[in-house]
Amino acid sequence: MTSASEPSQEPNYHLHQIRPFFEEFFKIFPTAGKFWKLYAECEIKAQNHVQAQQIFKNCLLLCPQLDLWKTYLQYIRFGINTPLSLEDQIKAFDFAIQHIGYDMNAADIWSNYLDLLGLTNVCVVFYFCSLFFYYCFYCS
């Protein structure tokens, strides 16, 4: 029995049991973004950063699902034990924008990217909005 101050090993125990399920599931449904997101969130919650990073590596290019990519970007910004440099965070956002920035529902990602860059000037925001619309209409 663990006390309230001791961390429970229960989440890792359950992950050990469900990992094979996820792996078999993804052999059949490799583009099921909702389930990749769930799998990554389980690993992140259990502080299994190596496994979480491997999940993102395996699924991001397969799944242009916004919620999955938002989870990845949240993880990059706030979820890793060792904070990434601002340059590495910007690279992650550039990577995301390159792959899903054209989606008309990606405004949250663009907004977070601008926030990360510290761009709150109206003229600069207008410029980036113009780039967004250029991506939407001319690059897709």
- State in words which class domain 10-138 has: mainly alpha
pLDDT band at 8 (very low <50, low <70, confident <90, very high): very low
Amino acid at 53: Q
pLDDT in tens, 68-118: 999 999 999 888 777 788 889 999 999 999 999 888 888 889 888 888 887
Helix (H, G, I), strand (E, B) or coil at 35: helix
Confidence bin at 1 (pLDDT 50/70/90): very low
| Predicted TM-score (pTM) above 0.85 | no
Domain positions in the chain? 10-138
Burial (CB < 10 A; 0-12, 13-18, 19+), residue 62, is: middle
Residue 124 has pLDDT above 70, yes or no: no
Measured distance CA(42)–CA(2) in Å, rounded: 21
